[in-house]
Amino acid sequence: MPWSVADIPDQHGRVAVVTGANGGLGLATTRALADAGATVVMAARNQDKARDAQALVRAANPEADLELVELDLGSLASVARAADEILTRHDHVDLLVNNAGLMAMPQGTTEDGFDTQFGVNHLGHWALTSHLLPAIVRTPGARVVTVTSTAQHQGHPVDPDDPHMRDEYEPWEMYAQSKLANRHFAEGLQVQFAANGVEARSLAAHPGLTNSDLQARTVREGGSGSLGPFFLGLVQRVGMTSERGALSQLRAATDPEAPGGAMYGPLLGNNGPPVRKPLLRPGVGDAIRTLWDVSRRETGLDVDVRAALEPEPEPA
């Protein structure tokens, strides 16, 4: 039988952090995890929309254990504040779903001067993972799931000399690069987990062709050329619902048999039930090392499992 939300094991006692939890795939992921008993930290930039999403989930499940945290992935300061708030409330993080993202935005910059897409899709999640990593590595059975896209197959590894594509920006090329970076990040983190004997697992997932708000926002923001309206019309006609599209990241997050380093996506490429997918063009070696070097340089933060395992210094 195809995998569904009915296969999610009991999540009571587990803390899940979901970025972009106020709509689309993030909201569907939040609802499924809350229905399974998890405490879900809904991390999102638009807090009015987040409160509406929280009310929607609780209307269907009054027992849903939901928390709101303001998170703007385009601001390293906001990411740090969100992580501090999460860690103040919780001494463990069982699940981090790096879900939020932008697609084919016009050229722009984040608060910290990063390209908007690369900054939100990758560097913001890099920073959040960095801040939460000590809690993750100390939590038995923890997982980090990073959401990529089939666009990764058109992406190129990050150019260390121009990671923000300032010389020759193209919205779809940057989107593809950021989504390949998401997958390389998932792979590289799993390598560190394994090398340091950590029980945590890092996985990637992609939703295929899903009719979330992603494509609609691309068209609203402009800069995507004729492909924006084309993909919006396509997902509206034949795309999966957010509930179905979210199954891949939910399976990566909760299936006891899902191995670290794996990627899950729809059976038929862009549609169908969630299955384990082959990793084409594995990012081992130079691509992952370069991504780590660039991400450290740009954010001033590291994702270093060995360092995260070191005991915290005693207060003076």
Distance CA(239)–CA(272), nearest Å, equals: 10
Max CA-CA distance within the chain? Answer: 61
CA contacts within 13 A on the Cβ side of 206: 24
Q: Which is catalytic among the residues 114, 126, 172, 175?
A: 175
Q: Tokens standing for 80?
A: 């740090």
Q: Do β-strands 95-98 and 39-44 pair in parallel, antiparallel, or remain unpaired?
A: unpaired
| Residue 264 a catalytic site member | no
Question: Which residue matches tokens 């020759």?
Answer: 168
Distance CA(133)–CA(304), nearest Å, equals: 8
Of 38, 95, 89, nearest to 61 (Cα)? Answer: 38
Helix (H, G, I), strand (E, B) or coil at 246: coil
Q: Tokens standing for 166?
A: 């300032």
Output helix, strand, coil percentages for the chain, rounded to the nearest 5.
45, 15, 40
- Long-range CB contacts (< 8 A, 24+ apart) of 111-115? 111/72, 111/74, 111/75, 111/76, 111/77, 111/78, 112/74, 112/75, 112/76, 112/299, 114/74, 114/164, 114/298, 115/163, 115/164, 115/165, 115/166, 115/169, 115/174
Q: Which residues pair with 109 in a beta bridge?
A: 115
Q: Do β-strands 274-277 and 263-266 pair in parallel, antiparallel, or remain unpaired?
A: antiparallel
Of 26, 36, 174, 37, nearest to 110 (Cα)? Answer: 174
Helix (H, G, I), strand (E, B) or coil at 263: strand
Active site members: 175
